[in-house]
Amino acid sequence: MNIQFRDRPEPASTDVAKTSDIKTSHIKTSHIKTAIADCDIHPARATKTELYPYLAKRWHEHLETYDKRPYHGMMEGPPYPKAQPNASRRDAYPPEGGPQGSSLSFMQQQHLDPNNVVLGVLNPLATGQGIRNHDLAAAICSAINDWQIEKWTSKDKRLKGSIVVANEDGAAAAAEIRTRAGDKNFVQVLLLSRNVEPLGQRRYWPIYEAAEEAGLPVGIHAFGFGGNPITASGWPSFYIEEMVGHAQCQQTVLASLVLEGVFERHPTLKMIMIEAGFGWAPSLSWRLDKTFKRLRSEVPHLKRPPSEYIREHIWWTTQPMEDPERRDHLFQLIDWIGWDRLLFATDYPHWDYDDPSRVLPAGASDANRDAFYLGNARKLYGIV
Amino acid sequence: MVRHVIAPVDELPPGTRKFLTIDERPIAIFNIKGEFFGLLNRCPHQGAALCEGPLIGLAQSSDPGAIEYTRAGEIIRCPWHGWEFDIRTGQSYCDPKRFRAKAYPVNVEPGAALVKGPYVAETIKVAVESDYVVVEL
């Protein structure tokens, strides 16, 4: 018999209000032997001023005097509270302090090492995107890009950054992409799904032009700060409606990209739908194709049925994984989308994290499993 | 079933929980208002350290518009995905047909009874005059 007590802080009380004080165990509860890619990792800043070394002095004073004016009102960050602190796992607080996702060494210890992550794509969400002052938006985005190199990608070669850009200012965004083009610290351009207008519209075209020129895919991650209601029918009452609404928002984004002809203009552009599900892909495609047959003359710039652009240009991250009761339904979905189009992602350290050892049910072939966990990401991002 | 002596009762006052590993199984023992409970510290959903989550109550509705909040502090909420489990039985309130957390019986036993055995207590020195928390698994 063997009983071992672990040395760790214990919660002081059952009082619900104090439970956020519970410290982490740092224990990884599952281990995966095969190497994986994680195509959605969220790095955070340990302190509010962590970006200052990468921002001109004038912006320090500006931020302290005026702060940021987001499109969606007098709020910093997403408008709906997140159910877990910082929308993150309660066991992911770094031992040295700071919010979840703010420590490279703890990320290595808790996630990258035990899960055998050989390629991790960083998707910073709290950037300059969605700030009404476009000069400030561009400055913060550029600072975030420098910060990704300095704090993360130069310190751990498994990690790759995303070029974040001032999404509402096409010229500034394109300039930032051209500045970073060829820098192997970055593997994609990152946008969010909620913007001032649907992402296919022409104010965003300079972003796609610069990304295609740089040979970089464009990832579109759920959330964003466009100022519009977060569902197509208005502001909902519950956080759960925001969570399931990402799929709906992403559908409007994808329809806009296809129907505005973005993929006709940029035939080599690749895009990734991040954290918005993929179960809706067949239904949206069928509906688009059916309606296209009736309304083709409205969008004569399209030369092919909409579904063909989607199949050719779109990749999908897996988290939060579709979870039907019958696994054959999941496999039917993936068969439609293509086993070569899914990119495994955990969303670490966020609370709806998918554990790599639990996500894909038994029944996938070895080749499909390898593609799902690593091969597709390596190919798309050009990482050998 | 093997009974393991975990700790003297006064090392686990009400409102605390203790994490331990028994035969490579991660276990947590809770003292909730003087009652003791044991759970496997692994969420049956995706494997998180379930017992590090907050202890909450149970909000339920018998009729639209009526919400009853009961069982305060007896429901454990997973630190990852927020799934709720009954600390007394391990029952899931999110997907009870497919998932159940593993619950272990925990009792308080007098030292005088423990020294007679059969208990496993090599890491704890048992004194006749004290009471001890004992888990069965």
Residue A97 corresponds to which tokens in the numbers above?
Answer: 């302090």
Task: Answer yes or no: is pLDDT of A245 > 50.
Answer: yes
DSSP class of residue A76?
Answer: S
As given in the structure block, the two tokens for residue A367 are 């080749």
Least confident of A137-151, A169-183, A226-240, A250-264: A226-240
DSSP A330-354: HHHHHHHH-TTSEE----TTBTT--
Alpha-carbon radius of gyration of chain B? 16
Q: What SS3 state is found at A291?
A: helix
Percent of chain A with pLDDT over 90: 82
Residue B112, CA distances (Å) to A232, A272, B10, B11, B126 in order: 69, 66, 16, 18, 9
Q: In what order do the strands lie in the sheet with B103-104?
A: A3-5, B17-22, B25-32, B35-40, B103-104
Query: In A, which residues are within 8 Å of B19 by CB distance?
Result: 5-6, 8, 10, 25
Query: Which of B16, B72, B79 minimises the CB distance to A91?
Result: B79
Average pLDDT value for residue range B19-43: 94
> Quick one: pLDDT at residue A91?
92
Query: Does position A66 have pLDDT exceeding 60, yes or no?
Result: yes
Given an 8 Å threshold on Cβ–Cβ distance, is A10 in contact with B16?
A: yes
Establish how many alpha carbons lie within 13 A of residue A28's alpha carbon, considering only the half-sphere containing its beta carbon. 17
Strand partners, B38: B29, B104
Architecture of domain A33-381: Alpha-Beta Barrel (3.20)
Token readout for A349 is: 């350290």
A344-352 average pLDDT score: 96
Query: Is A19 part of the contact surface with chain B (CB cutoff 8 Å)?
Result: yes
β-pair partners for A119: A37
| Interface with chain A: mutation pick from B30, B51, B52, B98, highest number of A CBs within 10 Å | B52
* A146, containing H or E segment: helix A134-147
| Phi-psi domain of A201 (left: phi exceeds 0; alpha: psi -120 through 50; beta: other) | beta
The upper half-sphere exposure of residue A300, i.e. CA atoms within 13 Å in the direction of its Cβ, equals 1
Give the pLDDT band (50/70/90) at residue A31: low
Residue B78 has pLDDT above 60, yes or no: yes
List pLDDT tens digits, range B85-118.
999 999 998 888 889 999 999 999 888 777 776 6
Instruction: Determine the residue among A1, A3, A7, A353 to mutate to test chain B binding: the one whose Cβ has the most chain B Cβ atoms within 10 Å.
Output: A3
How far is B134 from B114, CA to CA, in rounded Å? 9
| pTM of the predicted structure, to 2 decimals | 0.87
Ordered by start, the domain boundaries in chain A are 33-381
Residue B128 confidence class, pLDDT cut points 50, 70, 90: confident
Residue-wise pLDDT for A119-167, tens only, equals 999 999 999 999 999 999 999 999 999 999 999 999 999 999 999 999 9
Lowest mean pLDDT among A152-161, A252-261, B120-129: B120-129
Strand-pair partners of B5: B134
Residues with Cβ < 8 Å from A26, sequence gap 6 or more?
A8, A91, A95, A106, A109, A110
Bridge partners of A272, per DSSP, are A219, A315
